[in-house]
Amino acid sequence: MPKVSVVVPTYNVEKYLAECMDSLLGQTLQDMEFVCVNDGSTDSSLEILKQYAAKDDRVKILDGPNGGYGKAMNRGLDACTGEYVGILEPDDYVKEDMYEKLYRTAKEKNLDIIKADFYRFVTGEDGKREFRYNRLTSVDSLYGRVIDPKDELDMFKALMNTWSGIYRRSFLEEHHIRHNETPGASFQDNGFWFQTFCFAKRIYFVDRPYYRNRRDNPNSSVHSREKVFCMNDEYAFILDFLNAHPEFKKRYMGIYNFKRYHNYIAALYRVGEEYRDMYMERFQKEFLEADKNDELEAEVFTPEEWELVKILLRDRHAYVYEERIYRVGIEKDWEIERLQAELENVKGSTSYKVGKAVMCLPCALKEGILRLKRRREE
């Protein structure tokens, strides 16, 4: 049995796939398998996968017609044989020691799930990449210890990605955790994430970035402006899951609406301008229904967020205006937090400890933090 299986759901990513596969074959953990699911690609993605399979027998290819992200992921999960399972999006890549480090900790602490911080990046016209450090959570105390999410609901407020960690495969199989397979849908990782956090009893967060998440692929679902209600559909799938598990619905309905609220905001800014009023109408309708059913819990929101929720329930047009004003302020806070996290990561690096070779970077980060703090106070 391999120590870690990695699922790579592949669709028309010929431009990025080699970098992704190179990062897998270069892992310091050798006892792995790479399950690459070709989801009906019409470019050269399948041929690229075949080239890698020919030179490394750890690469397994599942080829089939296009069925969507959820179906491709589930085919891959069904084919995995490893003790733990990871997910690597084919336009991303990972640091060479990611799976060795995560697997070692997962074994030592008998974890259902282990997740790590990560970098997002874009590539400029000059070919240089700009990396931004992303923390799983702003709550420092949630890092570095084994946590049962039912005991600490702040775990559910962590970033909702499925790929910056690994999952015990027997845990996924025991609870039949799989993705929503609705054809043509997007954001199907949300439902998978929510299921894992409901069922898991031993989760561990690592404050080191191993995963590199690309944000400049124009074909990525995060850039789709026409899939207006895909996020709503995914939360309908999660609600179906909660309805099938009354014990989870009773415990997590408030946090479900917290996650739904924040992801609907993200969807609002993603859809095309011509669809936004239509989207807001449905956004408000769904939350009015939740309010009518007494399913909104003020205590899971910050006071500022709860005031915005109340505005949403009264007047969706006023809400859009107020939310934009609020977002300007919190984006400055997020940038300060990101720079501070990046500074701490640099300070923890070997190169920083050995000498002063990277001293210019911490100085630049400190200046950035101070500059943003001054702007926030203006």
Q: Say what the pLDDT of residue 227 is.
A: 76
**Residues 55, 59, 63, 66: is their CA dihedral positive or negative?**
negative
Residues 312 and 372 reside in one and the same domain: no
Local confidence band at 348 (pLDDT 50, 70, 90 cut-offs): low
If you average pLDDT over every residue of the chain, what do you get? 90
The 10s digit of each residue's pLDDT in 204-234 is 999 999 999 999 866 655 445 557 899 999 9
Local confidence band at 358 (pLDDT 50, 70, 90 cut-offs): very low
Residue 45 has pLDDT above 90, yes or no: yes
Its domain, for residue 372, covers: 326-377
Look at residues 223, 240, 274 and tell me which one is the last residue of a structural domain: 223
Percent of all residues in the chain with a pLDDT value above 90, rounded to a whole number: 78
Would 160 be classed as within a structural domain?
yes
**Stronger pLDDT, 344 or 216, i.e. the higher one:** 216
Distance CA 286, CA 270 (A): 19
Rounded mean pLDDT, 197-207: 99
In this prediction the pTM is 0.86
Would 14 be classed as within a structural domain?
yes
Would 229 be classed as within a structural domain?
no
Tokens of 10: 């592949």
Residues 319 and 342 reside in one and the same domain: no
**Stronger pLDDT, 374 or 56, i.e. the higher one:** 56
Query: Alpha-carbon Rg of the chain, whole angstroms?
Result: 21
Q: Say what the pLDDT of residue 343 is.
A: 61
Tally of CB atoms within 10 A around 241: 18
Pairing of strands 4-10, 32-39: parallel
CA dist 268 → 41, 216, 325 (Å): 29, 20, 15
- How many whole angstroms from its chain centre is CA 297? 24
Residues 332 and 280 reside in one and the same domain: no
Q: Say what the pLDDT of residue 347 is.
A: 58
Q: Say what the pLDDT of residue 326 is.
A: 87
Give the number of domains in the chain: 3
Would 35 be classed as within a structural domain?
yes
Local confidence band at 95 (pLDDT 50, 70, 90 cut-offs): very high
Q: Say what the pLDDT of residue 33 is.
A: 99
Residue 68 has pLDDT above 50, yes or no: yes
Would 171 be classed as within a structural domain?
yes
CATH number at residue 37: 3.90.550.10
Percent of all residues in the chain with a pLDDT value above 70, rounded to a whole number: 84
Q: Say what the pLDDT of residue 73 is.
A: 98
Rounded mean pLDDT, 271-281: 93
Would 233 be classed as within a structural domain?
no
Rounded mean pLDDT, 248-262: 98
Q: Taking Cα atoms as reference points, which of 85, 159, 154 lies closest to residue 117?
A: 159
Tokens of 98: 């990611």
Q: Say what the pLDDT of residue 329 is.
A: 72
Residues 53 and 108 reside in one and the same domain: yes
- How many whole angstroms from its chain centre is CA 160? 4
- The type of residue at 110 is N
CA dist 9 → 63, 68, 279 (Å): 10, 10, 29
Residue 365 has pLDDT above 90, yes or no: no
Q: Say what the pLDDT of residue 14 is.
A: 98
Residues 138 and 42 reside in one and the same domain: yes
Tell me which DSSP letter residue 7 carries. Answer: E
Rounded mean pLDDT, 334-360: 54
- The type of residue at 149 is P
Local confidence band at 355 (pLDDT 50, 70, 90 cut-offs): very low
**Do residues 285 and 312 lie in contact, with contact meaning Cβ atoms separated by under 8 Å?**
no
**Do residues 98 and 116 lie in contact, with contact meaning Cβ atoms separated by under 8 Å?**
yes
First-residue to last-residue Cα distance in the chain? 58
Distance CA 301, CA 156 (A): 12
Tokens of 232: 């709503």
Would 340 be classed as within a structural domain?
yes
| Residue 262 CA neighbour count, 13 Å, CB half | 15
Rounded mean pLDDT, 265-274: 91
**Do residues 142 and 162 lie in contact, with contact meaning Cβ atoms separated by under 8 Å?**
no
Local confidence band at 354 (pLDDT 50, 70, 90 cut-offs): very low
Residues 79 and 167 reside in one and the same domain: yes
The 10s digit of each residue's pLDDT in 132-178 is 999 999 999 999 999 999 999 999 999 999 999 999 999 999 999 99
The 10s digit of each residue's pLDDT in 308-341 is 999 999 999 999 999 988 887 766 655 555 566 6
Q: Say what the pLDDT of residue 277 is.
A: 94
- How many whole angstroms from its chain centre is CA 25? 23
